[in-house]
Structure 1
Amino acid sequence: MTSAFAGGGGQRSLPVPDGLDGMRLDQAVSRLFGLSRTAAAALVDAGDALVDGVTRPNSHKVKAGSWLEVTLPAPPAPPTVVPQAVPGLRVIYADDDIVVVDKPVGVAAHPSPGWTGPTVIGALAAIGHRISTSGAAERQGVVHRLDVGTTGVMVVAKSEQAYTALKRAFKYRDVEKRYHAVVQGHLDPLRGTIDAPIDRHPTHDYRWAVVSGGKPSITHYDTLEAFPAASLVDVRLETGRTHQIRVHFSTLRHPCVGDLTYGADPTLSARLRLDRQWLHARELSFLHPRTGEEVRFVSDYPDDLERALRILRD
């Protein structure tokens, strides 16, 4: 359910609809006003959600017909691109249409609400790359993304022609994306396909999950090397959902090593000296948007992932 009220600040008043009868107050506020559960709970805690003129706790069960008065915060200012040099970010290839980078850990693809760290777009602006003006202002030129904690190869469009062509190529799966991951345990079978729909986690903000009715999500994998406690796998994505690899392998009870968000063993993570998931965008290939010729780019493992592999092999 998406509310017509989402996106603006100020006071809103409306009766609780029949469909929300008996629901927790924070959940009802979330549903009615298009807020995350965390934001809704904070709003209730602050006394900015009244039920029939009275403040109530988050656990209060609302009744159909009760009057909700909510004071919504002003919408945050849209994020802007700030040119900022990013140590470790390497340009693999650049021409008038595309720029391909090797993204280090701790760098977001583009600015977003709540993120104050470095971005790929900001780094490219700092070194003088002109990026396509298509897309929202803060993510112009971005045709696909890597998680902040995922390293590896990523392409950004510089020309409008490239942006249109690459967006279409990613949408229709004409791009080959290969990742390497180290997952806990040993997969059975050693080679296979995970076909399970993904959507937002029903109870945890910022997490995703395999859920009935989610978006179709397909991951192909092949075990490259097995260690006593883990396996190095080559992963080919047929779809590109948020956290797809992390969610799929966690669902199989083989989470990416170091990925505490999705159930990795903290003891093993500490032994490997990892503070993020062992997941690397290893290879990206696609038809160049201007020449039509296939181009292929490969990224080497960064130092922290290489070190973890050495420990596993010892």
Structure 2
Amino acid sequence: MIKKTLHYPISNEQAGLTAEQFLKAKGYSHRLIVCLKHTPMGLSVNGKPAYANRRLSPGEALTVRLPEDEPSGSIVPVQLPLNIVYEDEDLLVINKEAGVPVHPSQGHYTNTLANGLAWYFREKGQPFTCRAVNRLDRDTTGLLLFAKHMLSACILSSQMLNRSIHREYRALVQGKIQKPGTITAPIARKEGSTIERQVDYEKGEAACTHYSPVCYSPRYDLSLISLWLKTGRTHQIRVHLRSVGHPLPGDFLYNPDYRCIARQPLHSFSLAFTHPITGETMKFKAELPEDMASLLQL
């Protein structure tokens, strides 16, 4: 099944490139190009089949027919509420609720975003392959980006690797934070635990978190802060803020203080990236969920 067809006119500046060189410059991975080689009419020039090593000439048109991956058949479609912020034929942005895992795992087979998306696309009569570009913990809320085909996944994953997808988080932390700061402390898995992490200067991987205060709630002694990650270690925000004496309340792993909130108050607030197909700058924001916003009311 063909998911998407793209047409590329060849300019004078692109003349002489092979089809493979041209596509790599557009962000196609080697794996995707190999897949196109094995797809009937995956690559064609002016309507005729073309090899990846074919030299391109000005005025020609290179056509790419993207096949669809095998559907995520192991994901059970379940009708679940989805807060879709944006959707086009290439990608999907969702504002995730608290308590919702992204992917099925032990103990979470039918209540994940992937289950809800499988239902959503089945109702539209479209094949579904789960391609989450970024990740959020089960109890973290906010913006999540999904790719809808192999090329979007390839280009957006590359943007994630080179840190050109910009994400801002908002978190409520205990105590008053009065000025911006940076935490640089390596993080490693805690010995004897499969999920818990800790600052570990001997065995840890480099981790860097930038933060800045937004406002302070004296009633609960909580600071709302903005955060930007230079690295993406597991539980990085939660571990780093605890390490400097400002843990997130309601965090079952690192600070199980549930007096004001029942989960860690961490929110993926904004997302900015380059559209993988059009090249347009995409920017999205998701306001704080009610359980976080209510703690800031005086």
Q: What code does the residue aligned with 1:82 have?
A: V
Q: Aligned in 2, Cα 1:253/1:295: closer, same or farther, shift over 3 Å? A: same
SS of equivalent residue, structure 2 residue 84: strand
Q: Aligned in 2, Cα 1:295/1:284: closer, same or farther, shift over 3 Å? A: same
Normalised by the size of structure 2, how large is the TM-score? 0.69
- Name the CA distance, whole Å, in 2 between partners of 1:217 and 1:172: 16
1:240 — aligned with what? 232
Identity of aligned residues (%): 37
Deviations 1:122-152 (A, max 9, x none): 111211275774xxxxxx3122210000000
> Residue 295 of structure 1: which of 259, 275, 282 is its match?
282
Pairing 1:99–2:103 present: no
8 A contact 1:220–1:236 mirrored in 2:
yes
- Name the CA distance, whole Å, in 2 between partners of 1:131 and 1:240: 30
Pairing 1:249–2:241 present: yes
Deviations 1:30-86 (A, max 9, x none): xxxxxxxxxxxxxxxxxxxxxxxxxxxxxxxxxxxxxxxxxxxxxxxx993111122
- Name the CA distance, whole Å, in 2 between partners of 1:131 and 1:113: 25
Pairing 1:175–2:173 present: no
SS of equivalent residue, structure 1 residue 179: strand
Normalised by the size of structure 1, how large is the TM-score? 0.66
Q: Which runs of 4+ in 1 moved over 3 A?
A: 129-133
Q: Aligned in 2, Cα 1:101/1:202: closer, same or farther, shift over 3 Å? A: same
- Name the CA distance, whole Å, in 1 between partners of 2:98 and 2:73: 21
1:210 — aligned with what? 199
Pairing 1:154–2:144 present: yes
Shift of 1:259: 1.5
8 A contact 2:249–2:255 mirrored in 1:
no
Q: What code does the residue aligned with 2:296 have?
A: L
* 5+ long unaligned stretches in structure 1: 1-77, 134-139
* 5+ long unaligned stretches in structure 2: 1-71
Q: What code does the residue aligned with 1:169 have?
A: Q
Root mean square deviation, CA, Å: 2.0
SS of equivalent residue, structure 1 residue 122: helix
8 A contact 2:118–2:128 mirrored in 1:
no
8 A contact 2:211–2:228 mirrored in 1:
yes
Structure with greater helix share of residues = 1
- Name the CA distance, whole Å, in 2 between partners of 1:238 and 1:216: 10
8 A contact 1:180–1:280 mirrored in 2:
yes
- Name the CA distance, whole Å, in 2 between partners of 1:303 and 1:97: 31
